[in-house]
Structure 1
Amino acid sequence: MFVEVAAPPRPMDKAIKAARPSLPRAIRRAAPPYLYLAPALILLGIWVYRPLAQTAQLSFYSWNLLPTTPMEPVGLDNYRRMMDSPELGDALWRTLEVILGLLPFSIVIPVVVGLLTRRLGGRSRAVYQALVFSPMLVAPVAGAAVWGWLLDPRGGVVDRATGTSVNWLQESGYAQVAIIMITGWHVLGFAVLVVAAALSGINGDYADAAALDGASRGQITRWITLPLLSPTLVFLTLMTVLLSAQWTFPLIDSLTQGGPADSTTNVYYLLWDYGFRSYDAGMGAAAGMLLFVGFGLVAAALVWLSERLAFHDN
Structure 2
Amino acid sequence: MFVELAVPATLAGEGRAAVQAARPALARRLLAATPPYLYLLPALACLVLWTYKPLVEAVQLSFYDWNLLPTSPMTYVGLDKYRQVFTQAGLRHAAVNTVIYIVCLLPFSVVLPTAVALVTRRLGGRSRDVYRALVFTPILVAPVAAAAVWRWLLDPTGLSNQALGWFGLAPHNWLREESTALPAILAITAWSMCGFAVLVVSAGLTGISADYGEAAAIDGATGWQILRWVTLPLLRSTLLFLVLMTVLLSGQWTFPLLDSLTQGGPAESSTNVYYLLWELGFRNFDSGLASAAGIVFFVVFGLIAAGLVALADRFSFHDN
- The TM tier, using the shorter chain, reads over 0.9
Distance (Å, rounded) in 1 between the aligned partners of 2:112 and 2:316? 23
Match of 1:79 in 2: 82
- The count of residues paired between Structure 1 and Structure 2 equals 309
| Runs of 5+ consecutive residues of structure 1 not aligned to the other structure | none
CA-CA distance at 1:31 after TM superposition: 1.1
CA-CA distance at 1:246 after TM superposition: 1.1
Match of 2:32 in 1: 29
Deviates more, 1:115-124 or 1:58-67: 115-124
1:202 to 202, 208, 224: 208
Distance (Å, rounded) in 1 between the aligned partners of 2:317 and 2:299? 27
1:63 to 41, 49, 66: 66
CA-CA distance at 1:298 after TM superposition: 0.7
Residues 152-167 of structure 1: pairs in structure 2 closer than 5 A: 152-154=155-157, 156-162=158-164, 163=167, 164=169, 165-167=171-173
Q: AA paired with 2:260?
A: S
Deviates more, 1:43-52 or 1:232-241: 43-52
Residue 150 (str. 1) matches residue 163 (str. 2): no
Q: Helix, strand or coil: the match of 1:169?
A: coil
Distance (Å, rounded) in 1 between the aligned partners of 2:185 and 2:24? 62
Instruction: Tell me the alpha carbon deviations over residues 130-150 of structure 1, each in whole angstroms, 9 at most, x when there is no partner.
Output: 211110011111111100110
Q: Helix, strand or coil: the match of 1:22?
A: helix
CA-CA distance at 1:311 after TM superposition: 5.5
Instruction: Tell me the alpha carbon deviations over residues 81-125 of structure 1, each in whole angstroms, 9 at most, x when there is no partner.
Output: 111111122111110110011111100110000111103343223
Match of 2:192 in 1: 186
Distance (Å, rounded) in 2 between the aligned partners of 1:280 and 1:121? 57
Distance (Å, rounded) in 2 between the aligned partners of 1:173 and 1:54? 38
Distance (Å, rounded) in 2 between the aligned partners of 1:61 and 1:237? 36
1:264 to 265, 270, 276: 270
Distance (Å, rounded) in 2 between the aligned partners of 1:268 and 1:98? 12
Instruction: Tell me the alpha carbon deviations over residues 285-307 of structure 1, each in whole angstroms, 9 at most, x when there is no partner.
Output: 11111111111111111111112
* CA-based RMSD: 2.2
CA-CA distance at 1:34 after TM superposition: 0.9
CA-CA distance at 1:20 after TM superposition: 8.8
Contact 2:185 2:254 in 1 (8 A): yes
Q: AA paired with 1:143?
A: A
Distance (Å, rounded) in 1 between the aligned partners of 2:4 and 2:58? 70
Distance (Å, rounded) in 2 between the aligned partners of 1:299 and 1:269? 21
Distance change >3 Å, CA 152–CA 20, structure 1 → 2: same
Distance (Å, rounded) in 2 between the aligned partners of 1:100 and 1:2? 80
Distance (Å, rounded) in 1 between the aligned partners of 2:28 and 2:232? 50
Match of 2:91 in 1: 88
Deviates more, 1:242-251 or 1:24-33: 24-33
Distance (Å, rounded) in 1 between the aligned partners of 2:249 and 2:4? 76
Contact 2:236 2:317 in 1 (8 A): no
* TM-score of the pair, normalised by structure 2: 0.91
Residue 47 (str. 1) matches residue 56 (str. 2): no
Deviates more, 1:184-193 or 1:302-311: 302-311
Contact 2:63 2:80 in 1 (8 A): yes
Distance (Å, rounded) in 2 between the aligned partners of 1:240 and 1:54? 27
Residues 90-169 of structure 1: pairs in structure 2 closer than 5 A: 90-154=93-157, 156-162=158-164, 163=167, 164=169, 165-169=171-175
Q: AA paired with 1:218?
A: W
Distance (Å, rounded) in 1 between the aligned partners of 2:318 and 2:127? 35
Residue 238 (str. 1) matches residue 244 (str. 2): yes
Instruction: Tell me the alpha carbon deviations over residues 179-200 of structure 1, each in whole angstroms, 9 at most, x when there is no partner.
Output: 0000001100000000011101
